[in-house]
Amino acid sequence: MDEFAVLKRNPAVLDKSYRIDKSSYVRYKRILEGDLNTKFFHLTTIIRRRRNAIEFIKDGEGTWITGTNQVGRCFNNHFEQTFSTCKPTFPPDFKNLLTHSISEADNLLMCAIPTDSEIGKALNHMGSHKAPGPDRMTALFFKTYRKITSFDVKESVKNFFITGHILKEQNHTLIALIPKQDNPVSVNHYRPISLCNVSYKLISKILASRLQAVLHQLVSPLQAAFIPKRLINDNSIIVITFRTIIFSGLD
């Protein structure tokens, strides 16, 4: 009774408790009915679709763009300009700066056909609930039904290393726009991410794992990126520190 009286005298506390209980109830209901063909599922889908819809956007010149086709074209133009190249020219002796390379033996290991164990290990290290690609399947599906899908998955991965080619269906990728901030209004406030098929991710993970073993032969000691426990801005910090020390000594 005393607790009820305290809540009654403090509407803000009562409102907060109500919102917490309501949030917990919605989360609990989503777990129970999230994937069932129910009214709750379809209502949740509609709400999420409306929340994620980009009905209007501001282009690089500050002009508001409306309409599905116009908004899509605005994003296409922005990212085409961002990721396009002006095809710069390099001096003939530029390649002489790249003195690091791997041996022929390491190259053979990099290109070797992966074993069943290596493919299985790569699959186990993949996030089970990562966003699926065009195949609509997550890694959890292939882990759960390993006995059924194992042969086809392994043959698909091995075929890439044998032929050097990948099927168009495997290479298909969905592009999703992720807001960089709350209430995004400009194309600059979104970043694209790629949603790839599991087979494509498997091939990439195997290549990345193999490259990690020889990366120390390719990365210069002067580089800060790609080195464990170091950041890309470490060298800049060192230069700024030395500059500060030198100029403070001159004073």
> Would you say 157 and 203 are in contact if contact means Cβ atoms under 8 Å apart?
yes
End-to-end Cα distance, the chain: 73
How deeply is 156 buried, as exposed, middle or buried, from its count of CB atoms within 10 A (0-12, 13-18, 19+)? Answer: buried
> Would you say 193 and 175 are in contact if contact means Cβ atoms under 8 Å apart?
yes
Q: What is the mean pLDDT of residues 207-227?
A: 79
Helices assigned H by DSSP within 58-103 = 68-83
Q: What is the mean pLDDT of residues 151-160?
A: 92
Query: What is the reported pTM?
Result: 0.66
pLDDT number for residue 1: 46
- Chain segment 116-140, per-residue pLDDT in tens: 999 999 999 998 888 888 888 889 9
pLDDT band at 15; cut points 50, 70, 90: low
pLDDT number for residue 187: 87
